[in-house]
Amino acid sequence: MKFRIYRYNPDADKKPYMQDFELADPEPGMMLLAALLKIKDTIDESLSFRRSCGEGVCGSDGMNINGINGLACVTPLASLKQPIEIRPLPGLPVVRDLIVDMDQFWQNYRDVKPYLIVNDPMPEVELPQTPQQREQLDGLYECILCACCSTQCPSFWWNPDKYLGPAALLQASRFIEDSRDQATEERLAALEGPFKLFRCHSIMNCVQVCPKGLNPTRAINNIKKMMVKRSL
Amino acid sequence: MECKTTAVVSGDVNDSIDMPDLPRRQFDALIIGAGGGGLRAALQLANADASVAVVSKVFPTRSHTVAAQGGMNAALANVLPDNWHWHMFDTVKGSDYLGDQDAIEYMCRAAPTAVYELEHFGVPFSRLDNGSIYQRPFGGQSQNFGGDQAARTCAAADRTGHAILHSLYQQNIRAKTHFFDEYFAVDLLKDDQGYILGALAFNIHNGEPVIIEAKTTLLATGGAGQLFRTTTNALINTGDGMGMALRAGVPLQDMEFFQFHPTGIAGRGMLITEGARGEGGYLVNADGERLMERYAPKAKDLASRDVVSRAIATEVREGRGCGPNKDHVMLKLDHLGEDVIQKRLPGIRQTCITFVGIDPAVAPVPIFPTAHYTMGGIPTNRDGQVVMPVKDTPEEPVPGLYAAGECACVSVHGANRLGGNSLLDILVFGRAAANHIIDYLSENRYHRPIDSDSLESAVNRMQRWDRKGDGEGESVSGLRDELKMVMENHCSVFRNDEVLAEGVAKVEQIVERFKHARIDDHSAVFNTARVEALELENLLGVALATIHSARARQESRGAHSRTDYTERDDINWMRHSLYSLDTGLDYKPVRTKPISVDSFPPKARVY
Ligand SMILES: Cc1cc2nc3c(=O)[nH]c(=O)nc-3n(C[C@H](O)[C@H](O)[C@H](O)COP(=O)(O)OP(=O)(O)OC[C@H]3O[C@@H](n4cnc5c(N)ncnc54)[C@H](O)[C@@H]3O)c2cc1C
Ligand code: SF4
Ligand code: SF4
Ligand code: FES
């Protein structure tokens, strides 16, 4: 099994380069993350990437795999054309090898006030929510903040500090849609202007790459609709 | 992110002390670990206007709490009648009477509030038609002290941990908690009187060390599932806090009790939540027999985890396993119908399809007991204070040191944890520890100077890996893989003296060889090889504690099943093990007296 992997260590390398690796007989059903771990353990310890859960729930190991962003731990080797070309998530500064600096991504996440805001006094028990109201959050709350979507989005590449990007906007939607949240007006107002929300041109790259099958474009369009209604 | 209260860049307090010239930060409270336990504590402290720093070796939402599926126990009685006292009974019985009953009472009483708080923080719990929180049955739950099955586990589909961890992180964003993301904590720092005064950590991005001085330090570093080759745990679960505690002279408690979850995907280790059986799934052997009917006639597939894991291991040993190698049994879910599976178990459906190509809505899934949860850990009282024996006092607090979550041992789980009780544990005791820290801070207003020896040994430990060797010495990854294999072969579901004795020798030998291990990556930038080396050192300490404690305990209790001592022995062994690096094994009594109710005396455990 052949791999071409992006390498860059600012400590040692003047510029990035691609390095070839080969793994003899990978186990059946092997995921890309397992292959990377094996390369690191047996061929080159200095190969650097993030990982934690190994099962697609923590969002650590987003990377660009044969041109498409995805999580290494849930990408079967068998599904990939060789040599498997692996690069860091595009559009963010590279720290080392497959590790990118996510500061801007987190900044955008924090910008949408991603927390429940309730101004009324809290009851002694749970805030009521019907199963139908709760269903509105399906497809929104499951996001694992892997950044696969935002770093595949051209609008985010051009203006990462102005356009919030699909991941942050999906979270904005998650709280706007929550029947318990009391800050909808404030949240919508904060998304006004040509950039934060409206830079999304519905190119749908984000939808194609989301490893959790979420649909940021739909969430963004829902917010847009609410903005239009609000301005009438 | 800006911190709420000023973090003094130091030098102004301890100028007189001779120490390496390292950058310093000062906070009231340091929390090591940003899983559910650490984040719950951080939120409580931030809301009380303490200056609090949270250090995590991964970005907070990558912590392993994110992987918890099934839910969190609390006697809300939303679905079936329930109360905290029944929950307490089940927990004591589940613990095989090794749990401390004061802590268990405290936890079960606090559970409903803990859930309501989470809901107010924004956790998207699944709901019932009347708008209240959905609860599902889980193993080991009963109504009325051992009667009918209860439904006590509050769930957000099968992504409860994700929902909780994200909501807690979000609330900490609101509270402006100060985060040190992707910093690795190396060792605790102290003074000569034994006060714990913070930790040495380094920024993984650039390798730069920093002394984080704090009046209190809370360890919330999670479990040590990476001890075993096949595990449901994340790669980051390497028992770092336990390793740090051991090196600081604190013993580890009850480490022989490691939970093997009955339903890990066979050979792969991904977890299938007990909630799958709670929703009506059941186990079958090669003969198509519903095997749990034989082992637990009443509770069947919802017996305690130790019972179900032993049953599966026994079926396989006796030749009734499934597949060409007869090495697993099957979990049947397809009879539940696609709707229920999609609504209640969407995450595990995805996992099964991804990892074994089986849709549980269509066909049964191969499963086998898999290393899952560290019942033992850093001993604490129910205020989260770390305690250890000093002279005649079995539980003397270590000043300034706290522990909560899976790295701690309160002990509410005793010899066997009930499903759904760990998320509860981390939240209840994360909060309790924070509350005690707030009191401690009001009485201890000033930072104490750190002892230079303690700093030096921490710095040495970190710098050891910067030395360029001569290419000799074994690789860290090779030793790690060997350790995991040894633990899997010598400290698994069934144990006996011969196998354990061999295991002890092998682990000790790996510890020796580790002294000469090497890494070849000496870069300062995001050096994951160095992180893995430091993690292995922690794992080795935990392995020693685990296998020594297991060999010494000559009885079968909860998750510790000895084929040479098959019975529980309350006369000699109803006590907690304590293992320390310097003095080996010691024991202390179980706290059998609850806070306000009568004690539950040990009884035979039947499900
Ligand atoms: C697959 C799975 C499913 C589960 N499902 C359930 C369930 O349904 N119900 C239930 O009750 N329990 C469940 N559990 C158990 C429960 O999830 C865990 O016990 C619990 O989440 C542990 O939380 P924690 O806060 O103690 O630690 P963790 O969430 O593991 O967090 C540990 C933190 O410590 C940090 N850390 C560790 N070492 C260092 C270091 N050296 N320097 C800096 N930071 C460090 C990490 O970065 C991380 O932030 C499950 C466990 C697994 C593995
Ligand atoms: S749909 Fe919008 S958010 Fe998604 S990739 Fe296109 S521009 Fe980006
Ligand atoms: S929406 Fe999908 S791709 Fe984007 S961050 Fe969330 S999980 Fe990742
Ligand atoms: S390692 Fe957690 S998502 Fe891949």
For A25-80, give the DSSP string: SPPTT-BHHHHHHHHHHHT-TT-----SSSSSSS---EEEETTEEEEGGG-BGGGS
Q: Do B64 and A96 touch (CB under 8 A)?
A: no
The rounded distance, in Å, linking the Cα atoms of B387 and B250 is 8
Ligand 4 centroid–CA B226 distance in Å is 16
Say if CB B378 and CB B217 are below 8 A apart.
no
Nearest listed ligand to the Cα of residue A172 = 3
Say if CB B256 and CB B67 are below 8 A apart.
no
Bridge-partner residues for A22, per DSSP?
A2
Residue B146, phi-psi category: left (phi > 0), alpha (psi -120 to 50), beta (remainder): left
Residues with Cβ within 8 Å of residue B124, at least 6 apart in sequence:
A134, A137, A141, A178, B156, B163
pLDDT single digits (tens) B487-530: 999 999 999 999 999 999 999 999 999 999 999 999 999 999 99
pTM reported for the whole predicted model: 0.95
Bridge-partner residues for B417, per DSSP?
none
Considering the domain A103-231 in this protein, what is its CATH number? 1.10.1060.10
The rounded distance, in Å, linking the Cα atoms of B519 and B530 is 7
Whole-number Cα distances in Å, B412 to A144, A182, B120, B426: 31, 38, 25, 11
Instruction: Answer whether residue B236 shows pLDDT above 80.
Output: yes
DSSP string covering B280-341: T-EEE-TT---THHHH-TTTGGGS-HHHHHHHHHHHHHTT--BTTTT-BEEEE-GGG-HHHH
Q: What is the pLDDT of residue A203?
A: 83
The rounded distance, in Å, linking the Cα atoms of B141 and B158 is 18
Bridge-partner residues for B475, per DSSP?
B518
Tell which atom from ligand 3 comes closest to the C-alpha of A150. Answer: 4
Which single residue is written with the structure tokens 């806090």? Answer: B241
Minimal-distance CA residue of chain B relative to A107 = B1
Residues with Cβ within 8 Å of residue B162, at least 6 apart in sequence:
A57, A142, A144, B66, B67, B68, B156
Q: What is the pLDDT of residue A29?
A: 86
Q: Pick the residue whose CA is nearest to atom 7 on ligand 2.
A: A200
pLDDT-derived band of residue B545, with 50, 70 and 90 as boundaries? very high
Using a CB–CB cutoff of 8 Å, tell me whether A17 touches chain B.
Answer: no
ipTM, interface predicted TM-score of the complex:
0.98
Encode burial over B235-258: b for 16+ CB neighbours within 10 A, e otherwise.
bbbbbbbbbbbbbbebbbbbbbbb
Check if A2-100 and A103-231 are the same fold.
no
pLDDT lower than 70: segments of chain A: none
The rounded distance, in Å, linking the Cα atoms of B501 and A129 is 56
Give, as one character, the DSSP assignment of residue B66: G
Domain-wise residue ranges, chain B: 262-371
Count how many Cα atoms sit within 13 Å of the Cα of residue B239 in the half-sphere of its side chain: 32
Q: What is the pLDDT of residue B224?
A: 98
Residues with Cβ within 8 Å of residue B562, at least 6 apart in sequence:
B494, B495, B496, B497, B553, B554, B555, B556
Q: Which residues of B touch A45 (CB under 8 A)?
A: 475, 477, 519-521, 529
In CATH, the architecture of A2-100 is Roll (3.10)
The rounded distance, in Å, linking the Cα atoms of A4 and A20 is 5
Instruction: Answer whether residue B386 shows pLDDT above 80.
Output: yes
pLDDT single digits (tens) B338-379: 999 998 999 899 999 999 999 999 999 999 999 999 999 999
Q: Pick the residue whose CA is nearest to atom 3 on ligand 2.
A: A166
pLDDT-derived band of residue B263, with 50, 70 and 90 as boundaries? very high
Ligand 4 centroid–CA A33 distance in Å is 9
**Chains A and B: how many Cβ contacts under 8 Å?**
150
Domain B262-371 indexed as CATH 3.40.50.720: no
* A125: nearest CB among B116, B129, B520: B116
Using DSSP's 3-state secondary structure scheme, residue B391 falls into coil
Using a CB–CB cutoff of 8 Å, tell me whether A46 touches chain B.
Answer: yes
Q: Pick the residue whose CA is nearest to atom 3 on ligand 3.
A: A210
Which single residue is written with the structure tokens 């490893």? Answer: A211
Give, as one character, the DSSP assignment of residue B231: B
Active site (annotated) includes residue B480: no
Domain-wise residue ranges, chain A: 2-100, 103-231
Residues with Cβ within 8 Å of residue B539, at least 6 apart in sequence:
B224, B226, B227, B238, B239, B243, B480, B483
pLDDT single digits (tens) A108-150: 999 999 999 999 999 999 999 999 999 999 999 999 999 999 9
Q: What is the pLDDT of residue B20?
A: 57
